[in-house]
Chain A
Amino acid sequence: MSIQFRHKPGMVVYLTIGDPDISTSKQIALAAIDAGADVLELGVPFSDPLADGPVIQRASERALLHGTRLTEVLALARELRTERPQAGLVIFSYLNPILRLGLEKFCALAQEAGVDGVLVTDLIVEEAEEYRAAMRRHKLQPIFLAAPTSPDARLEQIAKASEGFVYAISRTGITGTQQQVADGAQQLVERIRRYTKLPIALGFGISSAAHVAAVGAFADAAVIGSAIVAIIEKSTPAEAPMAVAAFLSELGVVPVATGETLAILS
């Protein structure tokens, strides 16, 4: 499969896998896809999530309490791929769990599982040569993050190295919700646009229908992370899938019939 945005803006949903447990994560993922998520970011919990705010930190801690492993996240991806062939699946991780499994082995397992892309929070383009080669060998799409602080020369490198989409960070800071979409976000997306025809997804701090609508005016997709994880935190495992689906519907996301393709952006 491949990463396709069927909505305007496309909807990327981040989940910390293993929070509260793997089987609930699967039900939440299925519910999110059925509610219209174009791409799922399957978050690998890490002991030292230094780019994350308190919400995702707590989710990682809960997932690690029962020892959620990268290999389990990959096994979950395989199940999701079988049950929902159309969904875009991205592994979202810090670098160390991938290194520990072995870069080559990780890529082979991810390919086998039917994963589309990989996003590594603490891997910048300059350090990614070997990683990109392994991704190419296994037909995986590397997605890199672009920041408001990145000068144009870096944005060009990031855009060229990315496949699937470019992840634009709306503001300096860690993950977490905020009142409104940051002022510099549109400017960042426009700067990235000069260097690529790939879709650009905007993330960090997006948590309401108004945010999503604002993002839709200038970006191709919105990433919802902490807001979803916070809903899971507040729900019982049984309620969580429905609560996430209801939240996506509140954001204005509509389900897409399998195989149907609506309004993909150029």
Chain B
Amino acid sequence: MSKVTATESNPSSAIAGRFGAYGGRYVPETLMAALEELESAYAAAQADPAFTSELAHLLHHYVGRPTPLYHAARLTEFLGGAKIYLKREDLLHTGAHKINNCIGQGLLARRMGKRRIIAETGAGQHGVATATVCALFGMECVIYMGEEDMRRQELNVYRMRLLGAEVRGVRSGSATLKDAINEAMRDWVTNVRTTYYLLGSVLGAHPYPTMVRDFHRVIGIEARQQILEAEGRLPSAIIACVGGGSNAIGAFFEFIPDKSVRLIGVEAGGRGTNLGEHAARFQCGSPGVLQGTYSYVLQDDAGQVSLTHSVSAGLDYASVGPEHAALHDSGRAEYVSASDAEALRATVTLARMEGILPALESAHAVAEAMRLAPKLQRSDILLVNISGRGDKDMGILARELKLQGA
């Protein structure tokens, strides 16, 4: 269990894997023994200084922590309002925040004596980070990825293969993240005695949402200290994109007790407001059970899960982490959406203003910052989590932004 306990100022409770009404364990019975084993192994690891110090060592020397908190002066001037800081998770090894969790769970799997690792991936960043950790620890690695995602994030498929992972394409449903998770769970339920499922977001059955959040808490812990050092005060708001919600919960968590700090999650608004055209779970979804957890789900009135769309594969998912559902219902965090077009514009703006190319996922957070900053005072501070870099998106960007030249 997490060391974090519920307090009055913190609506999120880790007790029994529930966050308010959300979370829990909705899985086939076959997986229960493995989830209980994982829960106790994780608790033992957290209490073991050898584990925590090895994790800290690798995060520093291998992953590249701490990441900078960078004052985006030109972007701030351009938008003419709040002062903008960027938390540079894009600078981490493998190019996104996902590696924080993979290192943690990889060490845990090794402790548990598991030699075969499976994972799902959407944008491919979690798959690359998992393949990286498996290479580092000498483990067998199988990554499930929707065929649509393999097509649009092709470079990451090559990276995973180069790192020694087997990438298995998934054709069912919309051939995106949700379908990859279904297939990974089918593998896990079949090979549960020998296989570690390295889930990549704050999704799934307990203890995953709590454990994955804990491995990403370092983002907010660093950012809080860095902003206090730089400005001597807390930001007005923290903005992060929300697919499953791992980078957002990592950025938000330390600030939950700081009531003056707005927590703003940005979902994929896609290309329209009809079901199937977006992944805006909080605006259009309702509570339900998908893939092990109770949270907001995009679904029809018969309880069938909807297809989703986003230009960014990492946000293209029908449900959202249960802790975000609790933060939403309690009002502690706000959830908005940015469209495909807004995310593309934000990508260009950040690239040209600051020379930073964000992942299309992270660009959704930048888009919200661009809308919000001009409405705020110059004395306000916005902290935007740049969860990953955009190199993986060059194919999409070349096409969407017509970069091929005249």
Contact = CB atoms under 8 A, between A and B. Distances in A.
Among A47, A51, A69, A154, the one with the most B-chain Cβ atoms within 10 Å of its Cβ is A47
Contacts of B27: 122, 124
A50 B30 contact: no
Given A100-B301, A149-B33, A122 B28 contact: yes
B302 A50 contact: no
B189 interface: yes
B192 A149 contact: yes
Interface residues of B, number: 36
A101 interface: yes
A173 B190 contact: yes
B303 A172 contact: no
A124 B305 CA distance: 21
A121 B289 contact: no
A169 B302 contact: no
B193 A126 contact: no
Interface string B283-327: 000011111100001010111110000000000000000000000
Interface residues of A, number: 41
A169 B185 contact: no
B172 interface: yes
Given A144-B29, A149-B34, A150-B32, A174 B302 contact: no
A163 to B, nearest CB: 17
Which of B29, B189, B190, B292 is packed against the most chain A CB atoms within 10 Å?
B29
Interface in A86-111: 94-101
Contact of B190 (A48, A95, A145, A172): A172
A70 B303 contact: yes
Contact of B305 (A47, A53, A145): A47
A16 interface: no
B302 A100 contact: yes
A111 B193 CA distance: 39
Nearest to B292: A122
B215 to A, nearest CB: 24
Interface string B164-205: 000000001100001001100110011111000000000000
Contacts of A245: none
B178 A95 contact: no
A123 B26 CA distance: 5
Given A48-B173, A64-B304, A149-B34, A96 B297 contact: yes
A154 B33 contact: yes
Nearest to B183: A50
B182 A48 contact: yes
Contacts, number: 112
A48 B303 contact: no
Contacts of B305: 47-48, 96
Contact of A172 (B173, B185, B192, B289): B192
Nearest to A121: B28
The 5 closest A-B pairs by CB, nearest first: A100-B303, A97-B303, A147-B30, A173-B190, A149-B33
A105 to B, nearest CB: 12
A109 B342 CA distance: 46
Given A121-B28, A122-B27, A123-B26, A50 B186 contact: yes
A237 B31 CA distance: 36
Give the residue among B182, B287, B290, B304 with the most A Cβ atoms within 10 A. B304
Contacts of B127: none
Nearest to A145: B29
> Which secondary structure characterizes the binding site on chain B?
mixed
B392 to A, nearest CB: 26
A151 interface: yes
B185 A50 contact: yes
B289 A95 contact: yes
A186 B215 CA distance: 41
Contacts of B192: 149, 172
A154 B30 CA distance: 11
B186 A48 contact: no
B214 to A, nearest CB: 22
A120 B93 CA distance: 42
B224 interface: no
Contacts of A147: 28-30, 32-33
B24 A127 contact: yes
B126 interface: no
A41 B361 CA distance: 43
Interface string B221-236: 0000000000000000
Interface in B94-143: none
Given A50-B291, A124-B27, 4 more contacts: A48-B178, A53-B186, A96-B288, A96-B305
A101 B300 CA distance: 11
A173 B288 contact: no
B278 interface: no
Contacts of A61: 172
A51 B30 CA distance: 10
B25 interface: yes
Contacts of A53: 186
B32 A122 contact: no
B290 A96 contact: yes
A202 interface: no
Nearest to A122: B26
Contacts of B172: 57, 61
Contact of A46 (B24, B189, B287, B304): B304
Contacts of A122: 26-28, 289, 292
